[in-house]
A and B are shown apart, each in its own frame.
Chain A
Amino acid sequence: MSIIYFLIGCSVLLALVFLVAFFWAQSDGQHDDMYTPSVRILLDDKPAEEIEK
């Protein structure tokens, strides 16, 4: 049963990695603008010659 010590250690470490990842995203400004990227992803980078509607 002492494997539980190891497993708990792993799970806490993994959770810590996610927490640090979140911190990094936060300080990187990824949560500053929560709306525009959702529109931007639908726009084409290079326009096709006159998209016909």
Chain B
Amino acid sequence: MSVITLNTTTCYHCGNDCTDDEYVIDDKDFCCHGCKEVYSILSKSGLNNYYCYNDHPGANRAKTDPKLDYLLEPSIVKDLVEYADEDVTIVTFYIPHIHCSSCIWLLEQLNRLKPAIYYSRVDFLRKQVNIRFNNTEINLKGVVELLDLIGYEPLISLQDIVKNQVFSKKDDLVRKIAVAGFCFGNVMLLSFPEYLGFSAHDASFKYFFGWLNLVFTLPVTFYSGWGYMRSAYTNLRNKVLNIDFPLALGIAVLFIRSWIEIITNTGAGFVDTLCGLIFFLLIGKFVQRKTYYHLSFERDYRSFFPVAVQVLSEEGEKHVPLANLKVGQRIRVRHQEIIPADAILLKGDARVDFSFVTGESVPVNKTLGEVIYAGGRQMGGAIELDVVKPVSQSYLTRLWNNEAFNRNQDDRIETFNQKVSKYFSVVLLVIAIGSFLYWMPSDMHRAIASLTAVLIIACPCALALSTPFTMSAALGIFDRNFFYLKNAAVVEQIAAIDTIVFDKTGTISIAGASNVDLAGQLTAEEKDAVSAVCANSSHPLSQLICQYLGPANRDTHVDIYNEITGNGITAQVNGKSLKLGNGKFVLDVGDTKVADNGSLVHILIDNKYRGYFTIKHQYREGVYDMRKLRSDYNLYLLSGDHNHERSNLASVFGNVGAMYFEQSPQAKLDFISDLQQQGNKVMMVGDGLNDAGALKQSDAGIAVTDNVNNFSPGSDAILDGRSLAKLPAFLKFSKDALHVVYASFVISLLYNLIGLSFAVMGKLSPVVAAILMPLSTVTIITFTSLATHLAAKKRKLL
């Protein structure tokens, strides 16, 4: 038998490939010092079980430690913690890495690592951990450091999503359903004898059951159903007829007629119908409200910007909360930190990555005295800046002052339900009053009976339920395909659009991923030399070339290295002189032409031209299929980037007028609102902060992201990058969902017609109402979920 040996070992902690074999303890391999460190901490505290529940549960710890000094500043701590007194502090952190049972286990054992932490409890779906600790023995910074040490770095942002969720959950829909369900069940039980008919000597029961039923109508109407009354009233005052009006009318009539019938002992009332109606309506409301705990649709720049800024003054350094940053203050920004406000560079070597702002990922060098716009990320050493504009008025953040961010998002599109219920209410009133007038001359009693019966039977319960149930089924389908909608109304918004605007970088091209190609021949030795040189540079192109060539042989020594920013590198490797860079730099010709399909890096070895690398941006799968959308939609491309790829994308977007490059965030927003002014319904597909304004302004803003837990700007929907290819199917499916709503509307109308034929005759018996109402509801629920799933199958989304 042959023994198979694995050549590559994977890290015991995080599961990455181990390239080095120097990190070994207890016969376990680790990929880096950080991972090994975590293991040794855990094994010392007897927490090895962490590795038993799952393989490689840890997060890679190769990166450097974050700077947490700002957590010592009392004013910042105050904003972050939920509760604090002399000795106990309670805080909730959002930790993106929480992903498996090991994470839950370890985070709930924090007490064994630091006894000062009394209590820690994980909420897995929200990826949060609630921690209570003794603040005389450990401070907030200590807790965060501990979490970071074991590989669970919390994401701390000013726009604290943790707190927002806590406060927005004040809603008692579930309680209302519980009350309605309780009453509905009891009332059904008490009404059943009535359906079969009482014999003469049981008549006293009839009276008793009737009165008991009336007691149940009180909580149902005045607690569970009260929302409909209130909403109908406010809408009437605003001269709007929405679906709540006929519903409230139905509820009121059911309530009043039941009381009168039972008190005067003239009938059994419609208590069962009343309770059932409110119960089903609330269920519909509940179904419609789908929440993605791990997603946030409301983030703005504050979740991206640092919580605190290091301010330098004569008294020394101080961490100041972002909101308190003032013009004229001198700030220090370190490697990988974001520049929070427009500022003048005073000291240091600024290489700023503006990919949030422009989509262009190549860092830009700035000279002393130059203004650096907010939103850039410093790549390199620490720099010192002088703030010239407040945070909220800076280049990128100014975008959030636009009115697009302040208007109410809910009424952008009139939903089908809103459109229909206007007419529905009018027709309903006409029929009700008509039948009343018809019977009035001959039989006053029958006239009132028919008036109330019409209002009861035509109460659009099934209609009110068709949209929630269809849309929640559709949301479930989208969800399976990694397309997360903010709420059910977004389905209708998507179905209504006729224009789609795409962002480029990060949206249709994968940020970071590129195709590297070498034109020309290099020997293995030369490749090593190029790779070794590129490894010294942090320029993205160098990094890509380095990845493409693989790590250099260990014997390759870079003797002289000189990087000329914005141009290229000269170096001496193993006695050979190398020159890498753009055409002007390497070939010394005035040719600054950039290749259409990406960037070129020329190679000169020992003064001989050896060829060049072409580095193409890579598009997401299915981008070229988007051209099929052109028959039904207007397509536009809006990019903050240069126009290198215009010709590549022309086959998708067609004529030149559809592609716009070098667009600022504000220009993107304006472009969308121009399209809207021409009467188009616009969908924006984008990512990153630079699209935030356009996403908000559009009728349906879709944020594309590779990792849904990462930052994505405020939007109506979040689309996982893997599913971008399914966008055409999503668009078609949203229209199908709308058709299902139309069809179920017709069905509920049919039921209403049957009921009305009884009602206008004034002959509606409680039994008929009690059967028709649940029957129509069940039909609608079954029909909508079946039809939605069939439609999904047809679009290959299931």
Contact = CB atoms under 8 A, between A and B. Distances in A.
A11 B187 CA distance: 12
Contact of B101 (A8, A34, A42, A47): A42
B123 A36 contact: yes
B104 A36 contact: yes
Question: Which secondary structure dominates chain B's binding surface?
Answer: helix
A37 to B, nearest CB: 9
B49 A33 contact: no
B49 A36 contact: no
Which of A18, A32, A47 is packed against the most chain B CB atoms within 10 Å?
A47
A38 B648 CA distance: 50
Nearest to A22: B178
Given A4-B205, A26-B174, A40-B104, A53 B52 contact: yes
A42 B102 CA distance: 11
A43 B104 contact: yes
8 contacts: A8-B212, A22-B178, A31-B174, A36-B104, A42-B101, A43-B105, A44-B49, A47-B49
Range, interface on chain B? 20 to 34
B125 interface: yes
Contacts of B174: 26, 31
Contacts of A53: 52
A43 B105 CA distance: 7
Interface string B43-55: 0001111001100
Interface in A37-53: 39-40, 42-44, 47-48, 50-51, 53
B349 interface: no
Contacts of A4: 205
A51 B178 contact: no
A18 B183 CA distance: 12
Contacts of B53: 43
B122 A36 contact: yes
Given A5-B208, A36-B122, A53-B52, A43 B175 contact: no
Which of B124, B169, B202 is packed against the most chain A CB atoms within 10 Å?
B124
B101 A43 contact: yes
A12 B190 CA distance: 11
B175 A26 contact: yes
A28 to B, nearest CB: 13
Contacts of B47: 47
Nearest to A40: B104
Interface in B155-174: 169, 174
Given A42-B101, A43-B53, A19 B182 contact: yes
Contacts of A35: 124-125
Given A5-B208, A39-B124, A47-B47, A23 B104 contact: no
A19 B179 CA distance: 7
Contact of A15 (B105, B122, B182, B202): B182
B186 interface: yes
A31 B286 CA distance: 15
B185 interface: yes
B108 interface: yes
Nearest to B208: A5
B167 to A, nearest CB: 14
A40 B212 CA distance: 44
A16 B49 CA distance: 45
